[in-house]
C-alpha cells in the first residue's frame, strides 16, 4: 500500500500528460483525416469516422490545381524568413548594450520597451497603416516585414540571455583585441544560440500565422500570404471542407518541420559554444 501511494503521483501526472497530448493531437489527426477522405465519402457521418474509408489525395490535387497556393507559400516564406533574420539581428544588437553597457536611463529604456508588450496590436494598427501609406509601402510585402523586424519580447529575451553569459568570456575576447562589436559577434551570439533559435521559432510562427495585418495592408491577391489564401478557400461559393483541411495541413507542415529540425539545437546552456569559439 505504501508503495502504491508512493507511485500514485507519478501515475496521475502521466495520465494528465496523456490526456493533454490526446486533446492536442485529436484535432490535428481529424484535420489530416478530413483532407484524405475521398470525394464520394461523406465527411459529416454520425457517428463521425476518424479514419477515411476511401483514402485519397484528390483534395491536395485540387488545392494546388485550382488555387495559387504556391504563390501564397512563397509570399509567407519570404515574409517569415526576413522577419526572423531582422529580429535576430536588431534584437540582439539592441539587447547587448542594455545587458552589458552602463549609461544613464538604461533602466527607463528597458521599461518603456517592455511596456509595449502590454499594448494590443489593434491599438497601433491604424497609426501603423497610415505610416505605411505615407511611406508608399501599402500593398507590398515589405509592409508585412517592417512591423515584425524587431519585437519587445525578442529584445527582452536576448537581454536576459546576454546577462547569463560570464563576464570572463568578454574579458578574454577583449584581451585578444576584440571590439565591442567583435565581443557581440564572437562571444554573445554563440553563447545565446539556444535563445536565438527560440526567438526565431516564435517570430516565424507568429509571422507565418498572422492574418489581421496582411488582411488590412494587402489588396493584391498575388501578394496574399497563406492565412489570407486559406481564408479565400473557406469563403468561396464552392466550399469543400476537404480542400480547406488540406490547405490547413499544408500551413502546419512548415512550422512542424521547423520545430523538428531546430529542437536539438535548443540546449539548457549554450555558453560552452562561446568557450569553444
Residue-wise pLDDT for 140-199, tens only, equals 999 999 999 999 999 999 999 999 999 898 888 888 888 888 999 999 999 999 899 999
Instruction: Verify that 67 and 39 share a domain, yes or no.
Output: no
Q: Do 99 and 190 belong to one domain?
A: yes
Q: 201 and 240 share a domain?
A: yes
CATH of the domain at 96: 1.10.3720.10
Last residue of a domain, one of 10, 32, 56: 56
| CA–CA distance, 126 with 115 (Å, rounded to integer) | 20
Q: Are 35 and 132 in a shared domain?
A: no
185 in the same domain as 253: yes
pLDDT band at 1 (very low <50, low <70, confident <90, very high): low
The predicted-structure confidence for 4-56, as pLDDT tens digits, reads as follows 566 667 778 888 888 998 888 888 888 898 889 888 888 877 777 778 888 88
Q: How sure is the predictor about 232, in pLDDT bands with cuts at 50, 70 and 90?
A: confident
Q: What is the pLDDT of residue 89?
A: 96
Model confidence band, residue 265 (pLDDT cutoffs 50, 70, 90): confident
Confidence check: pLDDT of 277 > 80: no
Domain residues for the domain of 181 are 61-276
Domain check: are 17 and 52 in the same one? yes
Q: Could you give the number of structural domains in the chain?
A: 2
* 104 and 236 fall within a common domain: yes
Q: Report pTM.
A: 0.85
Q: Residue 59 pLDDT > 70, yes or no?
A: yes
Asked if the model's pLDDT at residue 269 lies above 60, the reply is no
230 with 179, same domain: the answer is yes
23-35 pLDDT, tens digit each:
888 888 888 988 8
Beta bridge partners of 230: none
Assess whether 51 and 70 both reside in one domain: no
DSSP-assigned states of every residue in 138-207: TTSTHHHHGGGSS-HHHHHHHHHHHHTS-HHHHHHHHHTT--HHHHIIIIIHHHTHHHHHHHHHHHHHHH
Q: 6 and 71, same structural domain?
A: no
Same domain, 167 and 225: yes
pLDDT value for 12: 84
Burial 165-202 (b: 16+ CB within 10 A, else e): beeebbeebeeeebeeeebbbbbbbbbbbbbbbbbbbb
pLDDT given for residue 7 in this prediction: 63
23 in the same domain as 138: no
Q: What is the pLDDT, as a whole number, of residue 238?
A: 60
Dist. CA 88–CA 92, nearest whole Å: 6
The answer to whether 111 and 172 have CB atoms below 8 angstroms apart is no
Amino acid at each position: 500500500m505504501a508503495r502504491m501511494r508512493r507511485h500514485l503521483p507519478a501515475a496521475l501526472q502521466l495520465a494528465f500528460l496523456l490526456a493533454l497530448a490526446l486533446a492536442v493531437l485529436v484535432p490535428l489527426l481529424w484535420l489530416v483525416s478530413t483532407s484524405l477522405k475521398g470525394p464520394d465519402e461523406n465527411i459529416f457521418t454520425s457517428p463521425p469516422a476518424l479514419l477515411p474509408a476511401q483514402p485519397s489525395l484528390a483534395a491536395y490535387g485540387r488545392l494546388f490545381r485550382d488555387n495559387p497556393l504556391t504563390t501564397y507559400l512563397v509570399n509567407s516564406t519570404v515574409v517569415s524568413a526576413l522577419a526572423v533574420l531582422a529580429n535576430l539581428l536588431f534584437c540582439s544588437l539592441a539587447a547587448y548594450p542594455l545587458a552589458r553597457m552602463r549609461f544613464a536611463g538604461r533602466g527607463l529604456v528597458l521599461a518603456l520597451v517592455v511596456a509595449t508588450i502590454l499594448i494590443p496590436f489593434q491599438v497601433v494598427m491604424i497609426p501603423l497603416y497610415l505610416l505605411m501609406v505615407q511611406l508608399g509601402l501599402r500593398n507590398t510585402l515589405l509592409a508585412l516585414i517592417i512591423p515584425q523586424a524587431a519585437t519587445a519580447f525578442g529584445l527582452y529575451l536576448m537581454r536576459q540571455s546576454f546577462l547569463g553569459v560570464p563576464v570572463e568570456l568578454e574579458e578574454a575576447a577583449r584581451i585578444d583585441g576584440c571590439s565591442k562589436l567583435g565581443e557581440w559577434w564572437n562571444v554573445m551570439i554563440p553563447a545565446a544560440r539556444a535563445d536565438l533559435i527560440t526567438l526565431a521559432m516564435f517570430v516565424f510562427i507568429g509571422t507565418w500565422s498572422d492574418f489581421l495585418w496582411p488582411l488590412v495592408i494587402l489588396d493584391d491577391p498575388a501578394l496574399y500570404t497563406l492565412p489570407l489564401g486559406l481564408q479565400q478557400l473557406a469563403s468561396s461559393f464552392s466550399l469543400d471542407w476537404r480542400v480547406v483541411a488540406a490547405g490547413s495541413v499544408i500551413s502546419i507542415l512548415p512550422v512542424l518541420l521547423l520545430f523538428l529540425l531546430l529542437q536539438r539545437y535548443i540546449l539548457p546552456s549554450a555558453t560552452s559554444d562561446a568557450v569553444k569559439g
